[in-house]
Amino acid sequence: MIQRKQSIWLLLAALCAAGVFLFPLYKGEIKTGDVMQGKALMVPERFPFVLIAVVMSVLPLVTIFMFGDRKRQVRMSVMGIVANSTFISLMLFTVTRWQSETPPLLGGSYGIGSVLPVMSIILLVMAIIGIRRDEKLVRSVDRLR
């Protein structure tokens, strides 16, 4: 049952999680003297971000191939949600600390990379719903036998 809807949701969640390696989490401008410089917070530059991002990218991929054990699929998806939530928390903490560094950031905005973990969480929740529907369907068929 690898071709089910939840496999698509899990694949999209893995792609969103992997996207944080490509896009900046936060972009800001620093004024040094009379010169304005752009500075971006990227995942590959910070080791804790890399570790969590690898976990949140690999978990949904591994979960796709555990289609025989739906309970384990749900648990792995929940672990993926926890990894994404941890990444978001670490990102917000780092951005807050980064804004207060000297020289302070004059202006800044969150990048696409900061939205991707949220999208990944939504996709993982949709996958969990699909997995539970499959489990319910299998139980109903077993009752008929």
Convert the pLDDT of each residue in 6-49 to its tens digit: 899 999 999 999 999 999 999 888 777 777 778 888 999 889 99
- Each residue's pLDDT tens digit, 99-112: 777 566 777 889 99
Show the domains of the chain with their CATH numbers: 5-138 (1.20.140)
d(CA 10, CA 60): 5
- Identify the pLDDT of residue 3: 63
Residue that the structure tokens 């009379």 belong to: 34
Name which of 105, 88, 98, 100 is nearest 49 in CA terms.
88
Instruction: Read off the pTM.
Output: 0.88
Total number of residues shown for the chain: 145
- Each residue's pLDDT tens digit, 65-95: 988 888 999 999 999 999 999 999 999 999 8
Q: Alpha carbon of 121 to those of 97, 115, 136: distances in Å?
A: 25, 10, 23
